[in-house]
Amino acid sequence: MKKNQTLMELLTGIIVLGVGIQIVCLILSKNYLYDAIGLWSGIGICCFSAIHMYRSIEDAVDLGEAGATKHVRLGDLTRMVVTLLVAGAVIYFRIGNYVTLLIGVFPLKISAYLQPITHKLLKNVKKGG
């Protein structure tokens, strides 16, 4: 579990930010379901990207320099293709709001910056203080 702690903290931050954004959408929006589908599609992309990045980097560490570079580039391409396919499907079939989908992808970066704070908060919660 120690090995995956940073990933779990990152995912926790993404979900918490997603819930916060959802609350704002509920206040500001009139088309709740349409916006929520877009938002949570973006959050899903975020979670997939975080997990895939973690696994790609973990695998790349065991490879040589040339192999690691190829592996990381292939991982980047995979994440890009999945993101474009999901976003394209949501937009093409009009099942969710593309603006909230785009907003739903931002928590990955924000959560990465807030991970040290999330680490301290979760550490304090585990201790009970």
In DSSP notation, 27-50 reads: HH-S-HHHHHHHHHHHHHHHHHHH
End-to-end CA distance of the chain: 21
Residue pair 14/123 in contact (Cβ under 8 Å)? The answer is no
pLDDT given at position 101: 97
* Whole-angstrom distance, CA of residue 49 vs CA of residue 80: 9
Give the model's pLDDT for residue 29: 92
Segments of the chain with pLDDT less than 50:
1
Please check whether residue 54 is in contact with residue 7, taking contact to mean a CB–CB distance below 8 angstroms: yes
Amino acid at 68: A
